[in-house]
Amino acid sequence: MKLYYVFIYRPGPNWLPGKPINEQPLTGHFEYMSRLQAQGKLMIGGGFVDNSGAMGVFLAEDIEQARDIVFADPVVRDKIVTAEVHPWLVTVPGCVGMEAS
C-alpha cells in the first residue's frame, strides 16, 4: 500500500548565501520533480516564501523508497539542500485530491 510522505528541504552547505530560492542552482531539481509528478508520485511541492527551504508531499511504498526518492534529487545529492523525510497521515481527505491514509 502506498503511503504519503513529506519532504522538507533546508539550505545546505552548497546553498548560495544571500541569494533567494529563485537564484539557486535548482534546474536538475525541477526536472526531477517534473518526472516524479509525471509518474504520479509527487502530489504537491514548492518553496517557502521566506526562502527558508521547501516542502512537498509524495507517494511511496515505504520509508526506504521514500528516502531513496528524496536522496536521489540532484539538489540533495549536490548538498544544495539538506533533506528530511516524514511519513504523513492524511486526516482530511479531499485536500489536493488526496485520500485519507
Beta bridge partners of 58: 5, 42
pLDDT score at 60: 95
Q: Give the Cα separation of 46 and 99 in Å (integer).
A: 21
Would the pLDDT of 36 be above 80? yes
Q: Nearest CA to 22 among 55, 45, 48?
A: 48
pLDDT score at 100: 52
Q: Which residue has the higher pLDDT, 22 or 99?
A: 22
pTM of the shown model: 0.87
- Tens of pLDDT, residues 43-76: 999 999 888 999 999 999 999 999 999 999 999 9
81, burial (CB in 10 Å: exposed 0-12, middle 13-18, buried 19+): buried
Task: Parse the chain into domains and list their residue ranges.
Answer: 3-45+62-97
